[in-house]
Amino acid sequence: MSAGTPWEVIEIPALGGRVRGLVAHGVRVFRGLRYAQPPAGPLRWAPPQSLASRPATVDATAFGPDAPQDASNAGFAGTRSDGQSEDCLCLNIWSPARAEALPVMVWIHGGGFVGGSGSNITFDGCRLAALGVVVVTINYRCGVFGYLCHPELAAQSDRGVSGNFGLLDQLAALQWVRDHIADFGGDPGNITAFGESAGATSISHLLTSPLARGLIDKAILQSPGPMRGLMPHAEAAERGAALGSLETLRSLSAAELVALNERLVSGFRKVVGPRALGPVLDGWVLPAQDWEAYARNEVLAVPLLLGCNGDEGELFARHRPLRTVERFHAYIEACFGDRTRDALTHYGVDADSGITPAVSRLFGDTQFVYGTRGVARAMSRLQPRTFLYWFDARRAGQSASPTHGDELPYVFGTLDEPLYGQAEPYGQEDRAMSDMVMTAWTSFARTGEPDLPACRWPAVGANDLCVVLSEQIEIRAFPRTAALDFLDQVLGPRAS
């Protein structure tokens, strides 16, 4: 709904008392509901703790604070929160009026594990809720608050590990939804976790976590980054220790801690290899690499819808410091070693188009497209209701394929409030595409199968079948086959 929507204040019986929210055009919204205690003070770098008590009437008319982060993070753009705080573990709910036992869709935002906001205006759940679902968006700890590994933290833990606090927050939010969503008209037995980028990657990893059992019934992964390998806890803890003692880190302000993110996240790193600030292989939350979990059938084999955009890497290629062919070839060699010549057959520079498209293909394939196909193949062996998409809807007047994040306004029907400011307006074809995507996503949440107006969406199967969401809806094999087969050879065992 637009900023000028005439909201009315309502109260409903919920959470053992009453909750004050807002309603307009048949959709109720409840903002800033806490799902855990503030992870501040002694609870900084601790697993989320259940709320000890609630007031008799909970005011849910304003969005809660966002997780501390650099405000330049693209996932933070468009937030409707009034500010940032370590007291950030809150969620928002959109529910049709008089809803009862409706499918629930829980959105986990992206932001590179260092930022993002569940209050982003692009992620407004009104239009999805109007299609007969309950929509929940959450905040969770990011950056050093959510993923710091440190030997002193591990020594204090009864599990002997640290890090993955952001994933534990997501699990706590999912548990809260399971326990309380019936108060808001949702079906606690039909919960779909959906997310994009780091949010989708988080869900992908949670599917391999024993702690997520019973919390996710279906999943939608938009441009996830799985099958890339998790950094072992010991290595991540060494890097965390290099930031200083735990006493020193606890004495720092939130702003000072946010500034430490860039010491753990290189602005320019190899495209093959784990990251130091994000989910880690800790033996508890995440006991195995994802490809190992799939091989051993130690995953939540739930119905799965996943896919990528036509040019995932373009958003990042704009900022890669590779401006000459020589530098790019050196970078390829650093990543692929003795397979450099083979890599250049897929990621070589075309004399006519220049370096940027080559960097885009390399980054998009290694960070998103490769893992998406890998998870689809692996899950399809365990769960027949596994569905792939390739989003290639091009806006009127634009010849380029959509890049990372461009599908988000289509999924939420918020074409009037895009995540990244766009010069060209959306047209009627875009709105028709948005309607189709929203219908497919909500029907999947309802039944475990996405609906298309003109044909049946095929399961992945042995031929890597996917639906191309473009000007013409097509069913064909997932793109980039030769390049992805090459990455299968050089990145070691994944889902095979």
pLDDT in tens, 445-457: 999 999 998 889 9
pLDDT value at position 136? 98
pLDDT averaged over the chain? 92
- Give the confidence band of 74 by pLDDT, cuts at 50, 70, 90: low
3-state secondary structure of 23: strand
3-state secondary structure of 114: coil
Q: What is the pTM of this model?
A: 0.96
| Residue range(s) defining the domain that contains residue 191 | 8-490
Q: pLDDT for 102-121, tens place per residue?
A: 999 999 999 999 999 999 99
pLDDT value at position 482? 96
Closest CA to 274 of 262, 289, 284: 289
**CATH number for the domain harbouring residue 483:** 3.40.50.1820
Closest CA to 344 of 335, 354, 332, 356: 332
Residue partners of 234: CB distance under 8 A and separation at least 6: none
- Give the tokens for residue 429: 């074809």
Q: Is there a domain that residue 184 lies in?
A: yes
The answer to whether 2 and 416 are in contact (CB under 8 A) is yes
Q: pLDDT for 2-45, tens place per residue?
A: 455 689 999 999 999 999 999 999 999 999 999 999 999 999 99
306: part of which helix (H) or strand (E)?
Answer: strand 304-309
- Give the tokens for residue 146: 């959510």
Closest CA to 116 of 61, 161, 174, 169: 169
Q: Is there a domain that residue 22 lies in?
A: yes
Sign of CA pseudo-dihedral 357, 359, 362, 366: negative
Average pLDDT over residues 288-292: 96
Q: Is there a domain that residue 220 lies in?
A: yes
Residue partners of 157: CB distance under 8 A and separation at least 6: none
Rg (CA), the chain: 22
Q: Whole-angstrom Cα distance, residue 182 to residue 274?
A: 39
Task: Give catalytic residues, as residue numbers.
Answer: 197, 312, 404
Residue partners of 392: CB distance under 8 A and separation at least 6: 309, 310, 401, 402, 468, 469, 470
Average pLDDT over residues 457-461: 95
Average pLDDT over residues 406-432: 82
Q: Is there a domain that residue 238 lies in?
A: yes
Closest CA to 205 of 110, 296, 306, 293: 293
Angle at 103 between CA 102 and CA 104, to 5 degrees: 110
pLDDT value at position 266? 66
Structural domain tally of the chain? 1
CA 412 remoteness from chain centre: 14
User: Higher model confidence: residue 274 or residue 401?
Assistant: 401
Q: Is there a domain that residue 353 lies in?
A: yes
- Give the tokens for residue 234: 């010991």
3-state secondary structure of 431: helix
- Give the confidence band of 272 by pLDDT, cuts at 50, 70, 90: confident
For residue 138, list its beta bridge partners.
91, 108
- Give the tokens for residue 71: 């405000």
Closest CA to 135 of 171, 176, 185, 90: 185
pLDDT value at position 430? 93
Considering only 238-247, 256-265, 393-402, which range has the smallest mean pLDDT?
393-402
Q: Is there a domain that residue 3 lies in?
A: no
Q: Whole-angstrom Cα distance, residue 63 to residue 124?
A: 12
Residue 494 reports pLDDT greater than 50? no
3-state secondary structure of 107: strand
- Give the confidence band of 425 by pLDDT, cuts at 50, 70, 90: confident
Q: Is there a domain that residue 496 lies in?
A: no
Q: Residue written as tokens 């997310």?
A: 195
Average pLDDT over residues 261-266: 85
3-state secondary structure of 26: coil
Q: Is there a domain that residue 202 lies in?
A: yes
Residue 173 reports pLDDT greater than 90? yes
